Amino acid sequence: MDSTLLNITLMVTQLLAIIDPLGVIPLLSLITKDSIDVINKVNRLVGIALPTLLVFFAIIGPPLFQLLHIKIHDLKIAGGIILLVIAIDILREGIPKTATISPEEFIFVPIITPMLIGPGAITAVMIFSITYPFWQVLLSLLIVSGITYMVIRYSQYILSKLGSNMLKLIARFMSLIIAAWAISLVMSGIEDFLKHLE
């Protein structure tokens, strides 16, 4: 296989596994509620913000983080705390309290970040940017953004096939998954911080 195609395939596969667009579908159902206006806002914001942030971190991420003295473990801990609060809200009330804010704000935090673009995705993108030719990285990010956008765009179709009762069960189950992921992020951030001190 051509080295360029191999590089792009590796980057796309790895980043999709980290971003996991299917994993946010149950959370999306909590805020869209079959509202065409909200659904369109979700699609539009994901379509614009996702590739913009990915490219941003590929270009500016490493020098910006160095300038601000922000470490990846800082992002892991902060992202983990945000996700843990969301998970507890869903588990107790069936919907996160933050869903009462404007859809645009809730779509951006926590759906776009840190769920889609979290510490793992940011780290991967920055590693790609110093490992592979930039045009290959850029093309890979656009492909990943396109695939993720299509998953989000047709999430209502996926959800409609599952039914409301199944969605409630999925939401409760996902709250546990999100909580576990949140704890994992915090613990990983603390572990990285302790290693940094050595």
Q: For residue 22, what is the DSSP state? A: G
Element (H, E) at 10: helix 3-19
SS3 labels along 38-67: HHHHHHHHHHHHHHHHHHHHHHCHHHHHHH
Reported residue count of the chain is 198
Which residue do the tokens 């959370």 mark? 27
| 3-state secondary structure at position 173 | helix
Structural domain boundaries enclosing 56:
3-197
Q: For residue 154, what is the DSSP state? A: T
- For the chain, the domain total comes to 1
Asked if 104 and 45 touch (Cβ cutoff 8 Å), the reply is yes
Query: How much is the pTM?
Result: 0.67
Report residue 49 as tokens: 């913000």
Tens of each residue's pLDDT in the chain, 198 residues: 578 999 999 889 888 877 778 777 767 766 655 567 777 777 888 889 899 999 998 888 778 777 877 777 777 787 778 767 767 776 776 555 544 445 556 667 667 776 788 777 887 888 788 778 999 999 999 999 999 899 888 877 777 776 656 656 666 776 677 677 778 878 888 888 888 776
Q: For residue 198, what is the DSSP state? A: -
pLDDT in the model for residue 35: 66
